[in-house]
Structure 1
Amino acid sequence: MSWLVTGGAGYIGSHVVVALKEAGMTPVVLDDLSSGHAEFVPADVPFVEGSILDAELVSRTIAEHGVTGVIHIAGFKYAGVSVQRPLHTYEQNVTGMAVLLKAALEQGVDKVVFSSSAAVYGTPPTDIVTEDTPKSPESPYGESKLIGEWLLRDLGVSDGLKHTSLRYFNVVGSGSPALYDTSPHNLFPLVFDALLAGKTPRINGTDYPTPDGTCVRDYIHVADLALAHVEAARALDAGTPLLPAYNLGSGDGVSVRQIMTAVAAATGIPFTPEEAPRRPGDPAQIVATGELAARDLDWKMRHSLDDMVRSAWEAREAAAL
């Protein structure tokens, strides 16, 4: 019995693989290395290089490794870029998921944990997002994630697929100096790279109706996120009923200025952020509640903001050695 982790060589996926191993479960990785790194996969974990769009490869991997469940993380994850590349986004995230699910069901695999996104909510009408908040994605990326949840819902009805989807906003930190965020679009790598290049990070908007005037967002540690994926897989293995989707949120969030202060402390590089006007469309606050996930998946914020920044910086420094 093993769990196939698609995208298991990526930033989030590699942490899920480690968490599965530590839980005594058997991971198998499928990754095309379009954004992942082969060195992120532990040497004792089976690694198949290839795409979820390759139905024959997916079927063969499932059969050869005795896969009984799938944790689906692979996908094109850049919301902003997806607006310029909608066809690519839908091919990777919708067609790819359909191919994966068809192959899994044909091989008798009936359990799927889907790494979804809080992008399905778009700009919500309230500061605190719950699972019942209306879905109104504002990018092909967010739309593709919502379609992925629909696919699971419909296959649950037609084929008895057991599934759940995990929605979250911003993932940061590192669970190991060997595993780090290499995205060219995420906040922490952008801030670190700016500081290392002798540039000053920027805050967009300092006059929001928040405690310090800057935007408040949800940031969660990647190792906490990985544990939630493992708990969901365990529950499906045990036949425990789960909700179709769970938010993995902090409940209160942190501000952009708080992040900048924590970065200066962790890096030892003192700086005063540049202040720029608001960007159009940036809500003052978007934070998700994690109450249902806490009840069913042992979800909790095990790491503070300082932990998140410090671990991310240590991994960034280790990568530069």
Structure 2
Amino acid sequence: MSWLVTGGAGYIGSHVTRAMLDADIPVVVIDDLSTGFEQFVPESAQFVRGTLLDAELVRDTLLRHQVRGVIHVAGYKYAGESVKLPLHTYEQNVSAMIVLLKAMEQTAADKIVFSSSAATFGTPDVEMVDESTATAPQSPYGETKLIGEWLLRDTGRASGLRHTSLRYFNVVGSGSTELFDASPHNLFPKVFDMLLQGQTPRINGDDYPTPDGTCVRDYIHVADLAAAHVAAARRLDDGLPVEPVYNLGSGAGTSVREIMTAIRTVTGIDFEPEVTPRRPGDPARIVASGDLAARDLDWQMRHSLQDMVASAWAARQQAGDTYPR
């Protein structure tokens, strides 16, 4: 019997897929390749190209591959863009999840790990968020992730579905030079592209009440994130208790200027970032406690900031001219 990884050809999903296979857990991947790459899927994983909106395909995949559990990574993940495309975001993140849960009810798949998001918190009024911090999403993306958590909660009550949701913040780095983050909206690929094109990266505001005046955020390595998904899947397989939600946070955070300094050091490209005005709504600091995940999922920050930048840069360099723009 297998585990299904939805979105397993994407940046995060492909790392999860490889981590599952390294743990000797058979994997089948569903991905429509709208943002993923088939070459990211290892040959040892079964690959099904298609959308989660195709109910027959999803159900047949679960049956054919005897899927016992799902790691649901697929989704439209751009908070800013979701404001422009709310209907698309809801279709990809809510409608698709309903199709998936219905298919699970019709088959033997009775456990799920959901990739949720720190976007469910919106702009919290505390410097350290934990699982009890109030949710107040401020984008359609954040709203759809919170609705996904509600769908799992209510389905679990009704059918006994075992589930947990992993909320994470800024995912960076690479666990293999073959896997890169191609998102045009994420900080690392944006800065790398600007440097390679001879442009100057920007910092949005340096007058925040933080040690160096720039925003502080949680950055976690994608390989650490993937390991937490495997631990959650194993815990569900073993019938052990899980929390409905875990924050995967550093407990410390890193400033944007610290990121820029690390990128300058790793790449060897000398630059001084341009400081532009603050973006409306950007909080000074958002950092999460990962204590619950450390207790149950062996969550820990195994990679330093230097590791995060160096691995991401190595993957970007190996991609070379094949890197999508």
Coordinate RMSD, CA, aligned? 0.6
Any residues of structure 2 matched to 1:152-163 within 5 Å, and which?
Answer: 152-163=152-163
| Partner deviation per Cα, 1:141-195 (whole Å, 9 max, x = no partner) | 0000000000000011000000000001100000000001000100000000000
1:253 and 2:250 matched:
no
Report matched runs for 1:129-278 at 5 Å.
129-278=129-278
**Within 5 A, what are the aligned runs for 1:300-311?**
300-311=300-311
Residue of structure 1 in register with 2:284 after alignment: 284
Q: How many corresponding residue pairs?
A: 321
Residue type of the alignment partner of 2:149: E
In the alignment, the residues of structure 2 paired with residue 108 and residue 66 of structure 1 have an alpha-carbon distance, to the nearest angstrom, of 7
- Off by >6 Å, runs of 4+ in structure 1: none
Deviations 1:65-108 (A, max 9, x none): 11100000000000000001100000010000000010011112
**Could you say what secondary structure the match of 1:93 adopts?**
helix
CA distance in 2, matches of 1:169, 1:227: 16
Q: What's the CA shift for 1:2?
A: 0.9
Q: Distance in 1 between matches of 2:187 and 2:106?
A: 40
Q: Distance in 1 between matches of 2:278 and 2:30?
A: 41
2:14 corresponds to 1:30: no
2:212 match: secondary structure: coil
Cross-structure match for 2:89: 89
Deviations along 1:234-269, one digit per CA (max 9) or x if unpaired, are: 000000010000000000100000000000011110
Cα distance, 1:49 vs. partner? 0.1
**Residues 49-88 of structure 1: pairs in structure 2 closer than 5 A:** 49-88=49-88
For 1:128, give the aligned amino acid.
M
Aligned to 2:5: 5
Question: CA–CA distance in 2 between the matches of 1:100 and 1:169?
Answer: 24
Describe the SS at the equivalent of 1:44: coil
CA distance in 2, matches of 1:50, 1:217: 34
Normalising by structure 2, what TM-score?
A: 0.98
Once residues 266 and 242 of structure 1 are traced to their aligned partners in structure 2, the CA distance between those partners, rounded to angstroms, is: 39
- Alpha-carbon separation, structure 2, partners of 1:275 and 1:39: 38
The SS at the match of 2:296 is helix
Matched letter for residue 304 of structure 1: S
Aligned to 1:16: 16
Q: Residue type of the partner of 1:268?
A: G
Q: For residue 40 of structure 1, what is the aligned residue in structure 2?
A: 40
Structure 2: runs of 5+ lacking an equivalent: none
**Contact 2:67 2:108 (C-alpha < 8 Å) held by counterparts:** no
CA displacement, residues 185-238 of structure 1 (integer Å, 9 cap, x when unaligned): 000000000000001101111111111111000000000000000000000000
The DSSP-based 3-state class of the residue aligned with 1:48 is strand
Distance in 1 of aligned mates of 2:86 and 2:280: 22
Deviates more, 1:251-260 or 1:274-283: 274-283
Task: Measure the CA separation in 1 of the matches of 2:14 and 2:122.
Answer: 27
Alpha-carbon distance between aligned partners in 2 of 1:82 and 1:130, rounded to the nearest angstrom: 25
TM-score (norm 1): 0.99
User: Hey, what's the Cα distance between the residues in 2 that align with 1:149 and 1:41?
Assistant: 27
What is residue 103 of structure 1 aligned with on the other side? 103
Which residue type is aligned with residue 60 of structure 1?
D
Find the aligned partners of 1:53 and 1:195 in 2 and give their Cα distance: 38
- Following TM superposition, by how much is the alpha carbon of 1:314 offset from its aligned partner in structure 2, in angstroms? 0.2
2-side partners of 1:13 and 1:288: how far apart? Answer: 22
Percent of aligned pairs with the same residue? Answer: 69
Once residues 253 and 87 of structure 1 are traced to their aligned partners in structure 2, the CA distance between those partners, rounded to angstroms, is 33
SS of the residue corresponding to residue 43 of structure 1 reads coil
- Deviations along 1:31-81, one digit per CA (max 9) or x if unpaired, are 000000000001121000000111100011111111100000000000000
**Inter-partner Cα distance in structure 2 for 1:285 and 1:317:** 31
**Matches of 1:162 and 1:53 in 2, distance apart?**
22
Q: Would you say the 8 A contact 2:66–2:108 is kept in 1?
A: no
Tell me how far apart the structure 2 counterparts of residues 84 and 14 of structure 1 sit (CA, whole Å): 27
Alignment partner, residue 316 of structure 2: 316
